[in-house]
Chain A
């Protein structure tokens, strides 16, 4: 055995693999490079927040999930798995009140505890801006705040963390793709790991993932499209 042998011994590439990869990659868009950052950052953040409209509405609306069937329950959350993306809000729906504050201001005003992960994927940094959404008719109550924190990398890609008092989650079903939700154990307690996210009109397993858990009296939902589920799990595990 020598260098030449070790190099030569490498297996041949399976003939089907190259075609499989070409098929998979053709048509995939490139994520923006650094040059796009300034023009895309805020818009991307807004798009991200738009993706979460379903959750914000879900928390703001009263749905008796207990009456529904075919639901998965993990860590106090109710999940509905299906191939259809969440319905868009009906025309004329009242938008969820929201505002942006600094992280310091948000943390000082909160009357519930939010523990931030101490680890983030390489290149992602926690931003100082926090968006706050508030359940209907409770806009002035800081104990009812839903906090949207985000970590961002140079390309403007984000990891979002939604934190809110678990008592304000009223069992509304959270909609994810088919067989996407898995029960895991996070720091000794049950949590939900979801591989993928909703793409345009369909569930895309390759688009990152979600981790949902409850710690103390606070519920957390970590989500990213360009970060692997494994990194999201590591991030959740780093919560002090």
Chain B
């Protein structure tokens, strides 16, 4: 992810630099679907509208963006627990996947099943690590955990997921 943001008003640059990781973060966090799309769109909108509040001296762009994303994820789960409608998903047609994408989606669906069994904190760390592609150091800054603690938890969770994956194969 581009952390420099030389031109704060470059919309295309911001979308290209930010969308892939934000979308994948939400896909790992809430599943691959319209909810992830809506949350990613909402994150980018907030980041774009508030872009003049981003202070490079306080941390890299991605850290700031994922602060917004995590906040929205927390809102999402709070709304879901209250039974409030969480997305416009039901109002839009699903896109038909191509064969390649379909195969990848099937693999991710299997992975999502494992992710859905994780406690919230573990799933959040996995989403930040493998969805957002953040380093353990960046995750530590965002989560308030120590860097070594992040590494330990991620390693333990991935080992457990690997065992389950192989057992199910």
> Which A residues are closer than 8 A to B by beta carbons?
1-3, 6-7, 9-18, 20-22, 24-26, 28-36, 154-155, 182, 184, 193, 206, 226, 228, 230-231, 233-234
Contacts and interface: CB of A to CB of B under 8 A. Distances in A.
A31 B27 contact: no
A235 to B, nearest CB: 13
Contacts of A29: 49
B156 interface: no
Nearest to A28: B49
Given A9-B111, A21-B19, 9 more contacts: A6-B111, A6-B130, A10-B108, A21-B15, A21-B44, A25-B45, A30-B8, A30-B52, A228-B75
A154 B95 contact: no
23 contacts: A1-B162, A2-B162, A3-B130, A3-B158, A6-B158, A9-B104, A9-B108, A9-B130, A13-B20, A14-B37, A14-B95, A17-B41, A25-B11, A25-B15, A25-B48, A28-B48, A30-B9, A31-B49, A31-B50, A33-B53, A154-B53, A155-B52, A182-B84
A11 B27 contact: yes
Nearest to A22: B15
A10 B53 CA distance: 30
B105 interface: yes
B45 to A, nearest CB: 6
Nearest to B72: A228
Contacts of B11: 22, 25-26
Contact of B28 (A10, A154, A182, A233): A10
A22 B48 CA distance: 11
A192 to B, nearest CB: 13
B51 interface: yes
A18 B19 contact: yes
A3 B157 CA distance: 12
Given A12-B101, A25-B45, A7 B32 contact: no
B49 A34 contact: no
Interface of B: 8-9, 11-12, 15, 19-20, 23-24, 27-28, 32, 37, 40-41, 44-45, 48-53, 55, 72, 75, 78-79, 82, 84, 95, 101, 104-105, 107-108, 111, 126, 129-131, 133, 158, 161-162, 165-166
A205 to B, nearest CB: 10
Q: When A and B form their complex, which 4 residue pairs have the shortest distance between CB atoms, in order from nearest? A: A33-B52, A6-B130, A230-B75, A10-B24
B108 to A, nearest CB: 5
A231 B68 CA distance: 13
A25 B162 contact: no
A26 B49 CA distance: 10
Given A11-B24, A231-B75, A30 B49 contact: yes
A9 B161 CA distance: 14
Nearest to A33: B52
A231 B79 CA distance: 10
B133 A7 contact: yes
Nearest to A123: B53
Given A11-B27, A154-B53, A1 B45 contact: no
Contacts of A16: 95
B110 to A, nearest CB: 9
